């Protein structure tokens, strides 16, 4: 990180015949391999900003560098071919097949047929587009499939930079979530430098390494990782834009592995029942976990130990739900409030016991 791929310096755009500038004075950096999501209300200058990066719109003043070179010093056609561009309306050519659409830029670049064919199949696999779709026309696809073709086309010559303007806004919420997950998965492997525009803060939180929150006139209100924006909104505008449930949204971004879990009351099967009873009374939970060589067998309470000499004489009851280090604190919270024991039990694979999370412990991570 810290290796800047796209840099905007005091960029302004004033459209002819308009009173106020679409973008007043925007400075913003995007690191190599990072996804920056521009988010803000309608008309705040997101699309204008994005189009200035590939020179579909020319800035009135200021400088934009991509990979260290001023975009104004580059041939606009070459510049655009070197960046993937995905838009909401997709812009597939209706009289060309899916394969021909995906092959648009490779063909302009003069690739031979065999290489194009290989690349198209490779992209179809990456985007999980069935190969039988390749000979169809865009009108014969679902909205989600068309969007995948749009992404495949943008990735065709493997550009280091991707510009995505509300790419998933036109599909229904379920398909959108699938496309988002799929794109995150692709990005984890390809590590493109991505500028992603949306008006949906939840999409921004999900997709971004850093979010840039814009106000009208392209005013940058905050540029920070999602977790930081949720923890510490820079001002009232950001707080308002982030909306309700800020604390809960933030819990979804923190993994159980990132916080210390409580040890919780534990005994082993060989322990005296008396020791277990004392822990049950003093532990404040009304039960105790039973661990055998670090493996969680379940929990016992006083009633289950009634008349028993050793813990092993009782049959532990299994916890109804577990969380792992990879789960989020939001999932842990859900586990806490739905469990009879009022805690989330943290285990590793193979039921190795790590500890417990209580409501009180998770609440400490919610800053409001």
Which token pair is 193? 């430098």
Q: Total binding residues for ligand ADP by CB under 6 A?
A: 10
CA distances from 292 to 219, 297, 316 (A): 59, 7, 11
Q: Max Cα separation, the chain?
A: 89
Binding-site partner at residue 45 among ligand ADP, Mg ion, none, CB < 5 to 8 Å by type: ligand ADP
Q: Which residue is nearest to Mg ion (CB)?
A: 47
- What is the dihedral sign for C-alpha 46, 49, 52, 57? positive
Name the DSSP class of 72: G
- Interface positions, 300-339, toward ligand ADP (CB under 6 A): none
Using the rule CB under 6 A, which residue among 10, 15, 27, 258 binds ligand ADP?
Answer: 15
Q: In the complex, what is the shortest distance from the CB of residue 32 to Mg ion, in angstroms, rounded to a whole number?
A: 25
Of 67, 41, 37, 49, nearest to 12 by C-alpha is 49
Closer to Mg ion by Cβ: residue 47 or 335: 47
Using the contact rule CB under 6 A, the part of the chain among 15-23, 79-87, 156-164, 330-338 near ligand ADP is 15-23
Q: In the complex, what is the shortest distance from the CB of residue 21 to ligand ADP, in angstroms, rounded to a whole number?
A: 8
Using the rule CB under 6 A, which residue among 47, 100, 193, 335 binds ligand ADP?
Answer: 47
Q: What is the CA radius of gyration of the chain?
A: 27
User: Does 42 interact with ligand ADP (rule: CB under 6 A)?
Assistant: yes
Using the rule CB under 6 A, which residue among 46, 206, 210, 249 binds ligand ADP?
Answer: 46
In what order do the strands lie in the sheet containing 35-39? 83-87, 161-165, 193-198, 35-39, 210-215, 219-224
Closer to ligand ADP by Cβ: residue 45 or 150: 45
Binding-site partner at residue 15 among ligand ADP, Mg ion, none, CB < 5 to 8 Å by type: ligand ADP
User: Does 44 interact with ligand ADP (rule: CB under 6 A)?
Assistant: yes
Using the rule CB under 5 A, which residue among 23, 36, 47, 226 binds Mg ion?
Answer: 47
Closer to ligand ADP by Cβ: residue 44 or 53: 44
Q: Where are the beta strands (DSSP E) in 14-159?
A: 23-31, 35-39, 61-66, 69-70, 83-87
3-state SS class at 336: helix
- CA dist 151 and 167 (Å) reads 9
Q: In the complex, what is the shortest distance from the CB of residue 170 to ligand ADP, in angstroms, rounded to a whole number?
A: 15
Q: Is the CB of residue 345 less than 8 Å from the CB of residue 290?
A: no
User: Does 48 interact with ligand ADP (rule: CB under 6 A)?
Assistant: yes
Closer to ligand ADP by Cβ: residue 15 or 309: 15
Closer to ligand ADP by Cβ: residue 12 or 186: 12
Q: In the complex, what is the shortest distance from the CB of residue 212 to Mg ion, in angstroms, rounded to a whole number?
A: 14
Binding-site partner at residue 105 among Mg ion, ligand ADP, none, CB < 5 to 8 Å by type: none
CA distances from 19 to 16, 58, 61, 64, 173 (A): 9, 18, 16, 24, 37
- The single residue listed with the structure tokens 């719109």 is 57
User: Does 198 interact with ligand ADP (rule: CB under 6 A)?
Assistant: no
Helix (H) or strand (E) holding 9: strand 4-13
- Measure the N-to-C terminal CA separation of the chain; round to a whole number of Å: 29
Closer to Mg ion by Cβ: residue 218 or 264: 218
- CA dist 235 and 250 (Å) reads 17
Q: In the complex, what is the shortest distance from the CB of residue 223 to ligand ADP, in angstroms, rounded to a whole number?
A: 16
Footprint on this chain of Mg ion (rule: CB under 5 A): 46-47
Positions that interact with ligand ADP (CB under 6 A):
15, 18, 22, 42-48
């Amino acid at each position: 990180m810290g290796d800047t791929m796209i840099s905007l310096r005091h960029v302004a755009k004033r459209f002819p015949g308009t009173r106020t500038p679409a973008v007043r004075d925007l400075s913003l950096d995007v690191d190599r391999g990072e996804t920056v999501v521009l988010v803000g209300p309608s008309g705040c200058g997101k699309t204008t900003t994005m189009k200035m990066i590939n020179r579909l719109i020319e800035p009135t003043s200021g400088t934009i560098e991509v990979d260290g070179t001023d975009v104004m010093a580059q041939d606009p056609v070459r510049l655009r071919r070197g960046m993937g561009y995905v838009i909401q309306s997709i812009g597939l050519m209706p009289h060309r097949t899916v394969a021909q659409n995906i092959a648009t830029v490779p063909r302009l670049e003069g690739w031979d047929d065999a290489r194009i064919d290989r690349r198209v199949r490779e992209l179809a696999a990456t985007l999980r587009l069935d190969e039988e779709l390749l000979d169809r026309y865009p009108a014969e696809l679902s909205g989600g499939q068309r969007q995948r073709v749009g992404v495949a086309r943008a990735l065709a010559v493997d550009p280091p930079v991707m510009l995505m303007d509300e790419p998933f806004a036109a599909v229904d919420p379920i398909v959108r979530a699938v496309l988002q997950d799929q794109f995150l998965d692709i990005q984890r492997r390809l590590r493109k430098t991505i500028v992603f525009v949306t008006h949906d803060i939840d999409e921004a939180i999900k997709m971004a390494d850093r979010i840039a929150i814009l106000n009208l006139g392209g005013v940058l209100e905050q540029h920070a990782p999602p977790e930081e924006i949720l923890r510490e909104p820079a001002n009232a505008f950001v707080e308002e834009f982030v909306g309700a449930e800020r604390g809960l949204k933030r819990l979804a971004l923190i993994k159980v592995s990132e916080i210390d879990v409580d040890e919780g009351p534990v005994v082993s099967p060989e322990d005296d029942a008396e020791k277990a009873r004392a822990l049950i009374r003093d532990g404040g939970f009304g039960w105790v976990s039973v661990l055998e060589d670090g493996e969680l067998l379940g929990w016992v309470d006083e009633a289950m130990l009634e008349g028993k000499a050793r813990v092993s004489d009782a049959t532990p009851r299994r916890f109804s739900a577990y969380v792992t280090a990879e789960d989020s604190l939001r999932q842990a919270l859900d586990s806490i409030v739905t469990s009879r024991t009022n805690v989330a039990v943290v285990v590793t694979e193979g039921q190795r016991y790590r500890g417990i999370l209580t409501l009180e412990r998770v609440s400490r991570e919610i800053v409001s």
